[in-house]
Amino acid sequence: MRSDNLRLQETSPLYCSNGAPAPDRAELARTLLTQAIKDTRWDSLQFHFMVDWQQEHPTLSGPLIVRYILFSSSGIPGTEEVEYLAEQAGVWNRMSVILGAQSQRAVIGLIILDAINTSSDTPIWVLTLSGTEKQMERQTLSWVRELVIQHSGPTSYMGKKGLTIGMSRGECFLAERGVIFPGDVDSLLLWQGEPKLIVEFKSHNLQAPLLNFDVSRYYPRPDGRKWNGLKALAIGLKVSSSIPIAVFYYSTVSEDVRLCVVDPTGTKLSTLWDSGVGKRASAESIFSNCFNYLNVS
């Protein structure tokens, strides 16, 4: 089966206002984290998740989501072509790993066609996995909208500026109509297949020392929703206790990096452990020290 005209990638950052390509701000952090856990028994997963914001205490809701963007140079492909491409790209395997890392909820795959004239009728493909049985069905972008409304509520507050950078045309389209595409976890770190640490990436674009910078200044406003969502994920993925949350700071104007374990509770975000400032070359030791703090090695 030929698929030379088809391509899958996880994100396609763009400015929602004009559709121009945008920088992938998390690429450096992903690279550094991957290098830090290379040749270890640690694995990193990235996926999207939904939170029921209608509850007094927001909770994890619905399936976990693996999202890919489909680029096609020859129109809308058939479902068999997309299924073949998903197999070659390892989408099913990624879904299986996420499913195996937790037993609380389903995992689905979403493949969204990158269409210049994105609309509610833009094709998507929904992948479901039950044991070894794989299923794929074609839907439209309106299906995603209904999924978000079902599990997160009828509207999502975008703020006055709206969504500046989206990870796909579909995400921008939904945001313009009051629905935020499910948020993602930058990294869920697994130790021998078991979730042990949620990592949020935070770029530092100022000349001021990285040690003087702390995300607590942005909590609960304007980043309360982000951290309350991560807290819901941390609680929802574990039955006995919540998963710790950490912030991986990385400077874009120097070689400095820093890792902090945090606790978002009540009206504050407190730092439980701080690696101090190191260099990108020492990211491996910074994460190793954090794992020792968590008593996992």
- Segment 51-85, tens digit of pLDDT: 999 888 899 999 999 999 999 998 899 999 999 99
- pLDDT higher than threshold 80 for residue 5: yes
- The Cα–Cα gap between 245 and 230 comes to 8
pLDDT at 74: 87
pLDDT at 120: 96
Both tokens assigned to 45 = 């997963």
Tallying the residues shown for the chain, one arrives at: 297
pLDDT at 142: 96
pLDDT at 155: 60
Q: Which residues contact 154 (CB under 8 A, 6 or more apart)?
A: none
The counts of H helices and E strands in the chain are: 7, 14
pLDDT confidence bin for 103, thresholds 50/70/90? confident
- pLDDT higher than threshold 60 for residue 169: yes
Contact 66, 109 (CB under 8 A): yes
Could you tell me how far CA 271 lies from the centroid of its own chain? 22
- pLDDT higher than threshold 90 for residue 124: yes
- pLDDT higher than threshold 80 for residue 137: yes
Q: Which residues contact 91 (CB under 8 A, 6 or more apart)?
A: 8, 66, 68, 109, 111, 127
Express each pLDDT in 177-232 by its tens digit.
Answer: 888 899 999 999 999 889 999 999 999 887 778 888 888 888 888 888 889 999 99
Contact 290, 261 (CB under 8 A): yes
* Helix/strand/coil for 275: coil
One-letter amino acid of 232: A
Angle, CA 178 vertex, CA 201 and CA 180 arms, to 5° = 25
Q: What are phi and psi of 75, to 5 degrees?
A: 80, -160
- pLDDT higher than threshold 60 for residue 245: yes
pLDDT at 239: 65
- The Cα–Cα gap between 176 and 56 comes to 26
Express each pLDDT in 246-293 by its tens digit.
Answer: 999 999 889 999 999 999 877 788 899 999 999 999 999 999 999 999
Q: Which residues contact 257 (CB under 8 A, 6 or more apart)?
A: 32, 210, 248, 249, 250, 251, 277, 278, 279, 280, 282, 283, 286
Q: How many Cβ atoms sit within 10 Å of the Cβ of residue 245?
A: 22
Contact 21, 169 (CB under 8 A): no
**Cis omega (within 30 of 0) for bond into 77:** no
